[in-house]
Structure 1
Amino acid sequence: MSNETVEEGRVAAGTEHNDNRSTLYKIWTNSWFQIILISFICFCCPGMYNALSGLGGSGQVDQTVAANANVALLACTAGTALFVVGPIFDRVGPRVCLLLGGWTYALYSGSLLCFNATNNGGFVIGSGAILGVGASFLWVAQGAIMTTYVPESQKGRAIAAFWIIFNLGGGVGSLASFGLNFKSTTGTVSDATYIALLIIMAFGWALGTLICPPSYVRVAQMEVTPESEKNFRQILRHSLQTICNWRVLCMLPLFFSANVFYSYQQNAVNGMNFNIRTRSLNGSLYWIAQMIGGLVMGLILDVPGVSRPNRARIAWAFLFVTGMAIWGGGYKFQVWSDLRLEQGLKQDIDYTDADISVGPMFLYIFYGAYDALWQSFCYWLVGAQSNSPATAAVLVGAYKTFQSTGGAMAWRINAMEKPAMTQFAMNWGLCMGSLVVAIPTVLAITLTSDKETLAVNEKDFPAPEEPRAEVAKT
């Protein structure tokens, strides 16, 4: 064989290798691959956490420790998401943020496993606080990816896809818990439940290594911050200018109310009225309903032939009407539940007793669907403000800060054992009131965010540089 033939073979082999690498690179940097990837990461980490918390008291008979752990978690998230994690995200990107935050979910599940053996409530509460910081990193990265890694016309679908996969985690986790605790009479979930969830959470954390930077994603409308602008002084100024905008200020009550009803629904409704296996089943149905709710809102927000401003108004009206109907049904249930508790009937409803279980279980399903409608709408409003991942990270940080503040307040009220009717009335009033406050922002939604909707000082934040040749827009 001649030297020329050998050389031609080497060139051909190298070309094939480069083509294969190019194909893998294109798949990796495809916006929808990244959306599905972050969805599965959240399936494994917060999805499994949701399966756990949805059991009422994180599967414990004594709900006070879990409620105080949630207070610590949400307080730490509120304290770090906006002005700590948001600026860090712009410096280090989503992959590092996910790796910094993902492991804390497994730690929390491990603390509950330890609690089953040692009754060490302090470890659970401390792990909840660490998880609060970790959750800030995960959710800021997730929100920036979900709202900016796809074109404007596909943001509703991206939110729907994420919500379906993410809440499939809660549904599958709760079904697994239902099976593991089917014959349980203790009121506390088994060690095997916590071990299984811990393993899945650790796997989700490892998936974070596959997330790619915003500058690599092939989306024409994405506005990537140039390296020259990535210093903390300008990032913090950008954060302040983004938040101090009337459109964002009108959304803050909406963000505050986004998790305010979890403590009431999970502890007062599910935790106080149903036995352990039915609570597991309810948790599964709750998260499955979220999948449907996310799909419905995603379809409304991306409906073809309707302008973006009109889609925003239709979604707001749908959210308000369904909220009044579902919370109205919840009022009737709470009156009935209070009468049962006065008679000493607690944690006794089983799904097999159709005479008293069907109505409350369907109400819990509708509560789950409404949560997805609410949060999908919030994320879409965030995505409608800008196509910049840096701006989206600030807005998602604000979302998580105020969402966690509202949640921490609600969990603290729950831990103080305030009457369930008081918690219910607070939740209903906050939700409907915050929708009214958000009307100016909804009415101000524009046809496009090709140039940032939020007013930013062009002198401080010039237009981003043209992307490199290897990541040119397709």
Structure 2
Amino acid sequence: MTVNEVASSGESGLSAPLGQQRGVVYRVYTNCWFQIVLMSFICFCCPGMYNALTGMGGSGQVDPTVAANATVALLAATAGTALFMVGPIFNRVGPRVCLLLGGWTYPLYAGSLLCFNATANGAFVIASGAILGIGASFLWVSQGAIMTTYVPESQKGRAIAVFWVIFNLGGGVGSLASFGMNYNSTSGTVSDGTYIALLIIMAVGWLLGSFICPPASVRLAELQPSPESDKNWRKTAMMSLRAIMDWRVLCMLPLFFCANVFYSYQQNIVNGMTFNIRTRSLNGAFYWMAQMVGGLTMGLILDIPGLSRPIRARIGWVFLVVTGMAIWGGGYAFQLWLDDRMATGLKQDIDYKDGSISTGPIFLYIFYGAYDSFWQSYCYWLMGARSNSPAVAAVLVGAYKTFQSTGGAMAWRINALAEPAMSQLAMNWGLCMGALMIAIPSVLAVTVTSNTEPTEEQETKEVCVEPK
């Protein structure tokens, strides 16, 4: 054996374990479930902490008007960018760049509220809300494309459930932290420390976006990446138009419109006008934890083994109708009671220790949180049933965020104009039930096939294995 052969064999002996080790790390990194969990933790840190803020009513301020107007600006910006701007950009640059473009806007918004505590600069809060709306478009389009296409057909309900649990854990943890930091507060507004803590966590979430894997590297049989030759603006625009104008998608648009329409009423009236600041924080934790349970429940329903996908689609729809009528019916009784209290000048006074007077409203707020997760999980599942292409999924999620934000902006503006609370409740209840009726053709269309419709795009070959 020559010196070169010895050196060569020595190098092989040393490098093989390193190569195998690198292979294991890379396979874990490109595993679809690792990416789902990573995306979930990004949302835990960014929109999860944002939810902790808004869930306190008025983003933790005594006067909710500035926060409501900032939310209107946020949702209007999201509605204007999610579909026609972010979807095509996502198709060109992928989820990692989109997350880095959008993630920094979350700590900016938390910083604007910190500034407002010191300077009462409402214009900065509203401007930050508008900027966050654009950033949120990048984040949510990326999240939706990952969640609905990175896992096999039989695991999509579970992927939604896992995401919803981790994501809403952010809102729950953030709200509990706020509860502890404001336990002895008598000012009616949260402390500076609350805003600083949430800002830091949001910044961490932004940095985590740099670890998201591009679709072409994900190990999944059903994933259908767009060929490089199709990544031009004209073909992207035509693909987007075809995806949106499908009649099954058009029937889903009212569902999308209603996905955030009830937040303003629930957060600023049910929670914000009923309870004191520490109880609002505690209720926020319960609300987002209920979303964890709700997302898990709907995910399990939509992945029931032994039932075809068409049957699961119908069961999910019936579940939404029945639970919606029960929860909104309870909300009507609560609103009659709250109107009587506010007529006598009682507001923002109920503490969680007040016994029977606080128990019913707290549980109602918990059920509202669960219903939100039922609704949004079902919407994502229906979108996932349409295509396994990340490019098409990005367009559908863009449409979802556009109409969701349009509905939310309308509702927050109505709330900012101080329309009667009973009118807001009636609007939310009526819109939700009406949207479910309009969606019936889309739900029934799932019965046409038990598999996501194929596209002309090339499929990858390696199967994603769910980690044990």
TM range (shorter): over 0.9
Give deviations 1:270-295, integer Å, cap 9, x for gaps. 00010000000000000000000000
Give deviations 1:431-454, integer Å, cap 9, x for gaps. 0000000000000104334434xx
In structure 2, the residue corresponding to 1:444 is in which secondary structure?
helix
- For 1:39 and 1:48, the matched residues in 2 are separated by 13
- For 2:120 and 2:15, the matched residues in 1 are separated by 60
| 2:353 aligned with 1:360 | no
- For 1:290 and 1:228, the matched residues in 2 are separated by 41
TM-score for the superposition, normalised by structure 1? 0.96
Distance apart, 1:12 and its partner CA: 1.4
| 2:109 aligned with 1:103 | no
Q: Show the counterpart of 1:225.
A: 226
- For 2:386 and 2:218, the matched residues in 1 are separated by 20
**Does structure 1 retain, via aligned residues, the 8 Å contact 2:220–2:462?**
no
**Does structure 2 retain, via aligned residues, the 8 Å contact 1:143–1:393?**
yes
- The 5-angstrom pairing of residues 48-67 of structure 1 reads 48-67=49-68
Gaps of 5+ in 2: none
**Does structure 2 retain, via aligned residues, the 8 Å contact 1:181–1:190?**
yes
**Does structure 1 retain, via aligned residues, the 8 Å contact 2:223–2:459?**
no
- For 1:238 and 1:322, the matched residues in 2 are separated by 36
Give deviations 1:408-439, integer Å, cap 9, x for gaps. 00000000001111100000000000000000
**Does structure 2 retain, via aligned residues, the 8 Å contact 1:165–1:291?**
yes
In structure 2, the residue corresponding to 1:323 is in which secondary structure?
helix
- For 1:403 and 1:38, the matched residues in 2 are separated by 21
Q: Show the counterpart of 2:457.
A: 464
Q: Show the counterpart of 1:40.
A: 41
- For 2:452 and 2:444, the matched residues in 1 are separated by 18
Q: Show the counterpart of 2:453.
A: 451
The amino acid across from 1:448 in the alignment is S
The amino acid across from 1:18 in the alignment is G
**Does structure 2 retain, via aligned residues, the 8 Å contact 1:221–1:450?**
no
The amino acid across from 1:318 in the alignment is F
Q: Show the counterpart of 1:412.
A: 413
- The 5-angstrom pairing of residues 10-409 of structure 1 reads 10-409=11-410
- For 2:92 and 2:210, the matched residues in 1 are separated by 17
In structure 2, the residue corresponding to 1:80 is in which secondary structure?
helix
- For 2:134 and 2:340, the matched residues in 1 are separated by 40
CA RMSD of aligned residues (A): 1.3
- For 1:278 and 1:247, the matched residues in 2 are separated by 43
**Does structure 1 retain, via aligned residues, the 8 Å contact 2:221–2:459?**
no
**Does structure 1 retain, via aligned residues, the 8 Å contact 2:160–2:295?**
yes
**Does structure 2 retain, via aligned residues, the 8 Å contact 1:99–1:205?**
yes
The amino acid across from 1:108 in the alignment is Y
Give deviations 1:278-317, integer Å, cap 9, x for gaps. 0000000000000000000000000000000000000000
**Does structure 1 retain, via aligned residues, the 8 Å contact 2:310–2:450?**
no
The amino acid across from 2:79 in the alignment is A
**Does structure 2 retain, via aligned residues, the 8 Å contact 1:152–1:448?**
no
Distance apart, 1:5 and its partner CA: 4.3
- For 2:380 and 2:356, the matched residues in 1 are separated by 39
**Does structure 1 retain, via aligned residues, the 8 Å contact 2:178–2:194?**
yes
- For 2:164 and 2:108, the matched residues in 1 are separated by 24
- For 1:7 and 1:245, the matched residues in 2 are separated by 60
In structure 1, the residue corresponding to 2:272 is in which secondary structure?
helix
Give deviations 1:142-199, integer Å, cap 9, x for gaps. 0000000000110000000000000000000000000000000000000000000000
Gaps of 5+ in 1: 453-461
In structure 1, the residue corresponding to 2:252 is in which secondary structure?
helix
- For 2:252 and 2:459, the matched residues in 1 are separated by 32
Distance apart, 1:464 and its partner CA: 2.5
- The 5-angstrom pairing of residues 1-16 of structure 1 reads 3=3, 4-16=5-17
Q: How many residues align?
A: 462
The amino acid across from 2:182 in the alignment is N
The amino acid across from 2:190 in the alignment is V
User: Which shifted more, 6-15 or 424-433?
Assistant: 6-15
Distance apart, 1:21 and its partner CA: 1.0
Distance apart, 1:349 and its partner CA: 0.2
**Does structure 1 retain, via aligned residues, the 8 Å contact 2:385–2:452?**
no
TM-score for the superposition, normalised by structure 2? 0.97
- For 1:401 and 1:106, the matched residues in 2 are separated by 22
Give deviations 1:372-406, integer Å, cap 9, x for gaps. 00000000000011111111100000000000000
- For 2:463 and 2:339, the matched residues in 1 are separated by 59
**Does structure 2 retain, via aligned residues, the 8 Å contact 1:386–1:449?**
no
- For 2:98 and 2:449, the matched residues in 1 are separated by 32
**Does structure 1 retain, via aligned residues, the 8 Å contact 2:98–2:139?**
yes
- For 1:60 and 1:129, the matched residues in 2 are separated by 19
The amino acid across from 2:291 in the alignment is Q
**Does structure 1 retain, via aligned residues, the 8 Å contact 2:253–2:403?**
yes
- For 1:447 and 1:466, the matched residues in 2 are separated by 19
**Does structure 2 retain, via aligned residues, the 8 Å contact 1:47–1:170?**
yes
**Does structure 2 retain, via aligned residues, the 8 Å contact 1:387–1:449?**
no
Distance apart, 1:463 and its partner CA: 2.4
- For 1:329 and 1:166, the matched residues in 2 are separated by 27
- For 1:466 and 1:87, the matched residues in 2 are separated by 21
- For 1:450 and 1:129, the matched residues in 2 are separated by 36
**Does structure 2 retain, via aligned residues, the 8 Å contact 1:385–1:449?**
no
Give deviations 1:341-374, integer Å, cap 9, x for gaps. 0000010000000120000000000000000000
Q: 1:175 to 1:23 in 2, by over 3 A?
A: same
- For 1:429 and 1:466, the matched residues in 2 are separated by 42
- For 2:452 and 2:250, the matched residues in 1 are separated by 22
Q: Show the counterpart of 1:425.
A: 426
**Does structure 2 retain, via aligned residues, the 8 Å contact 1:254–1:431?**
yes
Distance apart, 1:25 and its partner CA: 0.8
